[in-house]
């Protein structure tokens, strides 16, 4: 019975922990409120529940950890402080976060107005939990969170002044195996099975050129993976990389593993062939760069504006080629861009090709495009001062410089690294098989 309770708690904790955010909380509790007097709290986190296939017995393996909150000397009752915990949301400002943490307006503006403190707060990623110790009247005593670069950031009041510090976190790494049978949409099903969103996206990256994990899997297909998670003092901090992935589609099993061979890194099948989508830097066979990525003066020469793409100069009618395998997301007219094609690629990349004189026959939404296929022709439609191709690349919605961004190469592994890759593949897939045979209860249909 004890075990069952532990298991339930463990699964709740782990479900909270793997909610669709990359960066996870300091504590599974949403809100931690308590007078501070050297309290010990017990947290059940990062549980792995397993079923023994033969006997059907349930074993719960939970990490139970006592978390010590540092004692604070209490004066009279009026001096008592409280701890609050809140998640920094996507639409949040630092001000709205501090207000939810019960920090007074005066203290909030002091923190936001402090150069070092606001620099530290800028390392706060949406989804991160922030803990604050606040007095009854809203005076901030201290505030802690895990920064985007895996440090423990702290803002504290010391002698009436604000001090900030950062400390490197000692993190432990664990490898987790998960598997699920596809019901409708593979990436959503994977997340429902407890895989963090950041890892789910890596499945489509891993199988880029072989399988469209996002849309190409059907009911009854199987998807499994082995990925890293990082803990700090027993608390899940974030998920890491998908190390090995297996997809069974139409009775065929496809495998991909992450391999870092220095200059060549990415996802490969166990034979050393790249499974990732590759990108060309330039969508034209011959071109010169007219205008680069980043800041430039606008047409009037009065004002710096951000250029989110690259302009390639080429004569009207020059074929424009897809820089990677993908699907047409949009082909049509948009003011400014003129005739424009947007391609969606696996790994959450998109590319955009603007000012086209015309489209290639058949280029319309949903059409599957191979790398190097002609999608249209250089023109000067829309707001273009002369014939050129305006090209944009985005990853997870963020504009990248196509000329310098590190892009999945799609290149196969050099022969000298084959043995190393094969040894790694053997070990990883053996580990995946073993973990899935003692399969996690909550994760399998
Ligand atoms: Zn441009």
Q: pLDDT digit string (tens) for 388-420? A: 999 999 998 899 888 777 777 677 788 899 999
- Mark whether 35 and 108 lie in a shared domain: yes
Pairwise CA distance, residues 79 & 248, whole Å: 61
Please tell me whether residues 292 and 433 are part of one structural domain: no
- In angstroms, what is the span from residue 46 Cα to ligand 1's centroid? 47
Q: How far apart are CA 240 and CA 175, in angstroms?
A: 9
Q: How far apart are the first and last CA of the chain?
A: 24
What's the confidence (pLDDT) of residue 34?
34
Rounded to the nearest angstrom, the distance between the alpha carbon of 311 and the centre of ligand 1 is: 5
Q: Is residue 405 part of a domain?
A: no
**Ligand 1 midpoint to CA 378 (Å):** 13
User: Measured in angstroms, how far is the CA atom of residue 339 from the centroid of ligand 1?
Assistant: 13
23 and 80 within one domain: yes
Tell me, in angstroms, the distance from the centre of ligand 1 to residue 350's CA: 16
Q: In CATH, what number is assigned to the domain containing residue 176?
A: 3.10.450.350
Going from the Cα of 390 to the center of ligand 1, the distance in angstroms, rounded, reads: 4
Distance 394 CA to ligand 1 centre (A): 14
Of 385, 309, 306, the residue nearest 342 (C-alpha)? 309
Distance of CA 278 from the midpoint of ligand 1 (Å)? 23
Collect all residues with Cβ–Cβ distance below 8 Å to 423 and sequence separation of at least 6: none
Judgement on whether residues 164 and 20 belong to the same structural domain of the protein: yes
DSSP 316: T
CA of 310 to the centre of ligand 1 (A): 5
* φ, ψ for residue 23, nearest 5 deg: -110, 125
Q: What is the pLDDT of residues 246-288, one digit of tens each?
A: 999 988 999 999 998 776 678 899 998 888 767 877 898 766 6
Distance CA 164, CA 148 (A): 16
One domain for residues 436 and 387: no
The answer to the question of residue 283 being in a domain is no
CA of 355 to the centre of ligand 1 (A): 9
- Residue 307 Cα to ligand 1 midpoint, Å, equals 6
**Residue 431 domain-assigned?**
yes
* Same domain flag for 77 and 129: yes
How far, in Å, from the CA of 309 to the mean position of ligand 1?
5
**Same structural domain, 124 and 181:** no
Cα(90) to ligand 1 centroid in Å equals 30
318 alpha carbon – ligand 1 mean position (Å)? 17
Where does a domain end: 137, 168, 199?
A: 168
- Looking at the structure, do residues 312 and 377 belong to the same domain, yes or no? yes
247 lies in some domain? yes
412 in a structural domain: no
Q: Is the same domain home to 163 and 17?
A: yes
Find the 141 Cα to ligand 1 centroid distance in Å: 50
Q: What is the C-alpha separation between 356 and 340, in angstroms, rounded?
A: 6
The rounded Å distance from CA 7 to ligand 1 centre is 56
Question: What domain count does the chain have?
Answer: 3
Are 180 and 163 within one domain?
no
Amino acid 140: pLDDT: 95
Cα(209) to centroid(ligand 1), Å: 29
Out of 136, 168, 200, pick the residue that ends a domain.
168
Interval between CA 366 and ligand 1 midpoint (Å) = 25
The pair of three-digit structure tokens given for residue 207, joined into one six-digit string = 């199988």
Rounded distance from Cα 277 to ligand 1 centre (Å): 25
Q: Write down the pLDDT at residue 36.
A: 33
Instruction: Give alpha helix (H) positions in 172-330.
Output: 186-192, 197-206
Distance 341 CA to ligand 1 centre (A): 14
The tally of CA atoms less than 13 A away on the side-chain side of residue 339 is: 18
State the pLDDT at residue 303.
Answer: 61
**Sign of the Cα pseudo-torsion (32, 35, 38, 42, in order):** negative
Q: Are 117 and 185 found together in one domain?
A: no
CA of 306 to the centre of ligand 1 (A): 10
Q: How far is the CA of 365 from the centre of ligand 1 (A)?
A: 23
Residue 156 and residue 43 share a domain: yes
What pLDDT, on the 0 to 100 scale, is given for residue 299? 58
**Is residue 51 a contact partner of residue 439, using CB atoms and an 8 Å limit?**
yes
Residue range of the domain that includes 146: 2-168
pLDDT at position 67:
40
Q: Does some domain include residue 362?
A: yes
Q: Which of 168, 185, 210 is the last residue of a domain?
A: 168
CA of 384 to the centre of ligand 1 (A): 8
| 57 lies in some domain | yes
Q: What are phi and psi of 136, to 5 degrees?
A: -55, -30
**CA-CA distance, 242 to 229, in Å (whole number)?**
10
Contact 62, 6 (CB under 8 A): yes
Low-confidence ranges of the chain (pLDDT < 50): 1-78, 440-445
Compute, in angstroms, the gap from residue 444 CA to the centroid of ligand 1.
48
Q: Find the 295 Cα to ligand 1 centroid distance in Å.
A: 11
Residue 410, domain member (yes or no): no
């Amino acid at each position: 019975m004890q075990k069952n309770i532990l298991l339930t708690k463990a699964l709740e904790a782990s479900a909270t922990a793997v909610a669709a955010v990359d960066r996870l909380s300091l504590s599974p509790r949403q809100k931690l409120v308590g007078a501070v007097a050297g309290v010990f709290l017990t947290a059940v986190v990062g549980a792995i529940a397993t079923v023994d296939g033969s006997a059907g017995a349930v074993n719960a393996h939970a990490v139970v950890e006592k978390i010590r909150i540092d004692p604070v000397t209490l004066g009279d009752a009026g001096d008592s402080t409280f701890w609050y915990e809140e998640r920094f949301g996507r639409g949040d400002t630092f001000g709205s976060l501090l207000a939810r943490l019960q920090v007074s307006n005066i203290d909030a503006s002091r923190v936001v107005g402090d150069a070092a403190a606001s620099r530290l707060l800028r390392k706060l990623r949406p989804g991160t939990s922030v803990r604050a110790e606040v007095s009854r009247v809203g005076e901030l005593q201290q505030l802690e969170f895990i920064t985007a670069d895996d440090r423990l950031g702290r803002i504290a009041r010391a002698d009436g002044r604000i001090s900030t510090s950062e400390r490197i976190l000692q993190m432990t790494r664990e490898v987790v195996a998960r598997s699920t049978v596809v019901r409708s949409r593979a990436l959503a099903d994977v997340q429902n099975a407890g895989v963090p969103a950041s890892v789910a996206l890596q499945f489509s990256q891993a199988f880029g050129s072989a399988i469209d994990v996002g849309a190409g899997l059907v009911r009854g297909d199987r998807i499994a993976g082995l990925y890293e998670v990082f803990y700090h003092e027993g608390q899940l901090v974030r998920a890491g990389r998908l190390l090995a992935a297996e997809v069974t589609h139409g009775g065929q099993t496809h495998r991909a593993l992450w391999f870092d061979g220095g200059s060549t890194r990415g996802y490969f099948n166990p034979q050393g062939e790249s499974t990732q989508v590759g990108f060309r830097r330039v969508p034209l066979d011959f071109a010169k760069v007219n205008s680069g990525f980043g800041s430039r003066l606008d047409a009037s020469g009065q004002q710096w504006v951000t250029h989110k793409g690259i302009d390639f100069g080429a004569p009207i009618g020059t074929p424009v080629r897809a820089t990677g395998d993908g699907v047409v997301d949009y082909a049509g007219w948009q003011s400014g861009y003129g005739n424009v094609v947007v391609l969606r690629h696996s790994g959450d990349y998109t590319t955009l090709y603007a000012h086209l004189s015309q489209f290639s026959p058949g280029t319309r939404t949903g059409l599957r495009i191979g790398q190097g296929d002609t999608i249209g022709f250089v023109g000067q439609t829309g707001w273009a001062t002369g014939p050129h191709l305006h090209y944009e690349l985005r990853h997870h919605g963020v504009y990248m410089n196509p000329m310098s961004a590190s892009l999945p190469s799609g290149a196969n592994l050099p022969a000298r690294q084959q043995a190393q890759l094969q040894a790694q593949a053997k070990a990883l897939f053996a580990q995946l098989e073993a973990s899935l045979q003692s399969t996690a209860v909550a994760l399998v249909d």
